[in-house]
Amino acid sequence: MSATGRDTPATTRDRVVSFASQIEENTLEQARATARLPFVYPHVALMPDAHYGLGSSVGTVFGTLGAVIPAAVGVDIGCGMIGVRTGYTAADLDRVRAGGRGLETLRAAIEESIPLSPGNYNDWQLRGSADARCRELATLAEETGVDLSHSPKWRQQLGSLGGGNHFIELCLDEDGAVWMFLHSGSRGVGNKIAQKHIRTAKKLCRRWWIDLPDPDLAYLVEGTAEFDAYLADLAWAQRFAYLNREEMMDRFADRLQEWVGEPLTELERINCHHNYTVRERHYGKTVWLTRKGAVRADEGVKALVPGSMGTASYVVEGRGYGPSLRSAPHGAGRRFSRNEARKRFTAADLDSRMAGIEYRPGEEFVDEIPDAYKDIDEVMRDAEPLVTVLHRLRQVLNVKGT
């Protein structure tokens, strides 16, 4: 069933509820395939930004009884957003720039402090907050039996951004307040954890002669050692992703206050996942609730919904809407694949779309052009039953890894 923000959705025979006014048939078919699994409950909810993905669509939310699907969580476990509202205003930025320090100097400082791009990690001794966060993660791994031998350099990954649609931004809200905003996840260590358990789930389903509509819907059964191992690893990776964002945000704050020349006052901090599984209660049953490209939107819970490169982002508050499984979109959602975007657009196209925003231009970022994504404002109109918009942010500075 298709239901935009202007309609009231209801569970249908195929147990798919869509909140997207624009959605492709292959995305709907993926959702139907997921919904047909006997342990999915109560239905599959497609967020306004839903698009085709690995196994299940990005922007998919569903509950499971007695099983979890590792590929439905995705390979960037715990990927999400962090935003900080500061005491600085647009006037502070104008004053610094009038004094001869442009935003390009801030961008360069951020790029020197936070490793960017896949495979780029810290190459120095971690100290202070990063060291404390690594010690917390090491203790968690030891206490829960998480084996990290596949990623001996996981500590050096803490506080690194990655590539793709991960970014760091300086933004202004409608009142001129300055926000720090960034998007990242569990990096290489999370990817290895996910791939390991996806392989295990596929192997077990083949062993049990389970006929699946898609091999990437392979699942682990509650009560087995494999299930327990995945849940422990999943919780660790989610915590890594959360602390990774915290570490980068702290480094961002240090660079920003150095650039402004006055101490930074932090007024509000929001840190939220949009790729994860958690135990929740929906429609009378306790389920393993998977959000793949969706944020938690319980009543009163704040979350962050980024747009694409060069467009608006949103700070929102959940409305606890049951049919969406108390969830909301995680961003704009892709319209074109990366390869297709590179065929359609050029670096000059991107430069024109980024007018007035400090960023590092280059061919490597063309697949992140706003035209490769859905209209974030349309996505937010579709999300009206799900969240209340608190702030609309516009970028003044953008940092990305290739």
- Rounded Cα gap, residues 107 and 110, in angstroms: 5
Which residue has tokens 């798919």? 16
- What are residue 243's phi and psi, to 5 degrees? -70, -30
- Rounded Cα gap, residues 134 and 156, in angstroms: 9
The tokens describing 157, both together, are 């990954």
Spell out the alpha helix ranges (H) of 290-388: 338-344, 347-353, 376-382
255 close to 106: Cβ distance less than 8 angstroms = yes
Q: Could you say which of 183, 282, 330, 391 is catalytic?
A: 330
The tokens describing 291, both together, are 């959000």
C-alpha to C-alpha distances, 119 to 233, 317, 359, nearest whole angstrom: 21, 35, 21
CA angle 184, 187, 193 (to 5 degrees): 130
Give 87's DSSP letter: E
- What are residue 319's phi and psi, to 5 degrees? -110, 0
- Rounded Cα gap, residues 348 and 122, in angstroms: 32
43 is catalytic: no
Q: Which residues contact 81 (CB under 8 A, 6 or more apart)?
A: 181, 182, 183, 245, 270, 271, 272, 274, 295, 303, 304, 305, 306, 330
232 close to 145: Cβ distance less than 8 angstroms = yes
- What are residue 268's phi and psi, to 5 degrees? -160, 140
C-alpha to C-alpha distances, 353 to 40, 70, 250, 346, 369, nearest whole angstrom: 41, 37, 29, 11, 8
Which residue has tokens 């980068």? 248
The tokens describing 351, both together, are 């430069």
Q: Tally the residues of the chain.
A: 402
- Rounded Cα gap, residues 221 and 383, in angstroms: 33
State the catalytic residues.
Answer: 330
